[in-house]
Amino acid sequence: MKLSKEELERYNRQIIAVELGEKGQEKLKDASVLVMGLGGLGSSVSYYLAAAGIGTLGLMDMDVVSLSNLQRQIIHSTEQVGKNKTDSAFDKLSKLNPNVNYKKINKKLTSKNAVSIIKNYDFVVDCSDNFNAKYLVNDACIKENIPFSVGGVRGFEGQLMTVIPLKSACYRCVFSSPPPPSDSPLPVVGATPGFAGTIQSMEAIKYIIGLREGLLTNYLLIFDLLSMSFQKIQIKANDKCPACGKK
Ligand SMILES: [Zn+2]
């Protein structure tokens, strides 16, 4: 879709990036992205994707904002404690960029609704905080052939990968079973999911504008912000993968 005069000015500094250009900006405007989870990762993902001018942004979470979220979930603020995260995120994002068509999905992702929600989007960013949701996103995206980014953080560390169904290794190819569940809350230093989410939003943008070569497909990026070490590990699709395997 053609850009308005206001949009040409708003996005000027990325339009003048030769890799993006006016064509790339139009692709962002035509695209729809689902942000699955509005916590630490989802805060930076939704903020950057809204600012970048994604046409339709799905905001999915069923939680309410709590005081202990605010140290890392920067899309929410103190006055929004007790509010639905989808409403809280919408309040912030619609002030940042009213051109975006926001869709609030105040639901928990389940095996029953995953496909029907996910199939409406061109790209999914998994920002969930649990393995069950990550497997659900993975399986639904592979079924519907929708590319996605998946990330996880703990403390100062994180792991990220991007999946193009049936063309690259999927989440289950790499993480075949979840770790044993734990009742104690995960330690997270706020800037860690902020950093990881920034990379995830970049993956969505690159995919949408067609810069596919540098994506984290068939690679797992592992970072540790304490030692400032970054590793990009090559991964392979597993023929016997229950989600994407050929056998
Ligand atoms: Zn797989």
pLDDT of 9-40, one tens digit each? 999 999 999 999 999 999 999 999 999 999 99
The pLDDT-based confidence of 181 (bands split at 50, 70, 90) is: confident
% pLDDT > 90, the chain: 95
CATH code for the domain defined by 31-164+186-232: 3.40.50.720
**How many angstroms does the Cα of residue 166 sit away from the middle of ligand 1?**
8
| Long-range contact pairs involving 180-187 (C-beta distance under 8 Å, separation at least 24) | 186/129, 186/154, 187/154, 187/155
Mean pLDDT, residues 206-234 taken together: 97
Q: Where are the alpha helices (DSSP H) in 104-218?
A: 114-118, 131-144, 171-174, 191-209
**How many angstroms does the Cα of residue 223 sit away from the middle of ligand 1?**
23
* The two structure tokens encoding residue 34: 């689902």
Q: How does the average pLDDT of the chain come out, rounded? A: 97
Distance CA 200, CA 35 (A): 10
**How many angstroms does the Cα of residue 139 sit away from the middle of ligand 1?**
9
Q: Where are the alpha helices (DSSP H) in the chain?
A: 5-10, 12-15, 21-30, 40-52, 85-96, 114-118, 131-144, 171-174, 191-209
* pLDDT at 73 > cutoff 70: yes
Mean pLDDT, residues 69-92 taken together: 98
The pLDDT-based confidence of 247 (bands split at 50, 70, 90) is: low
**How many angstroms does the Cα of residue 169 sit away from the middle of ligand 1?**
5
Distance CA 7, CA 226 (A): 39
% pLDDT > 70, the chain: 100
Mean pLDDT, residues 206-225 taken together: 97
* pLDDT at 85 > cutoff 80: yes
* Span of 200-204, 237-241, 243-247 with lowest mean pLDDT: 243-247
* pLDDT at 46 > cutoff 70: yes
Q: Which of 57, 61, 40, 43 is nearest to 108 (CA)?
A: 61
User: Phi/psi class of residue 73: alpha, beta or left (left: φ > 0; alpha: ψ in -120 to 50)?
Assistant: beta
**How many angstroms does the Cα of residue 141 sit away from the middle of ligand 1?**
11
Quick one: CA dihedral 95, 97, 101, 106, positive or negative?
negative
pLDDT value at residue 246: 78
Distance CA 205, CA 203 (A): 5
| pTM beyond 0.95 | yes
pLDDT digits (tens, 9 = 90+) for 144-153: 999 999 999 9
* The two structure tokens encoding residue 133: 């949701």
**How many angstroms does the Cα of residue 86 sit away from the middle of ligand 1?**
31
Higher pLDDT, 8 or 181: 8
pLDDT value at residue 82: 98
**How many angstroms does the Cα of residue 33 sit away from the middle of ligand 1?**
22
Mean pLDDT, residues 87-106 taken together: 98
**How many angstroms does the Cα of residue 28 sit away from the middle of ligand 1?**
28
**How many angstroms does the Cα of residue 176 sit away from the middle of ligand 1?**
9
**How many angstroms does the Cα of residue 197 sit away from the middle of ligand 1?**
23
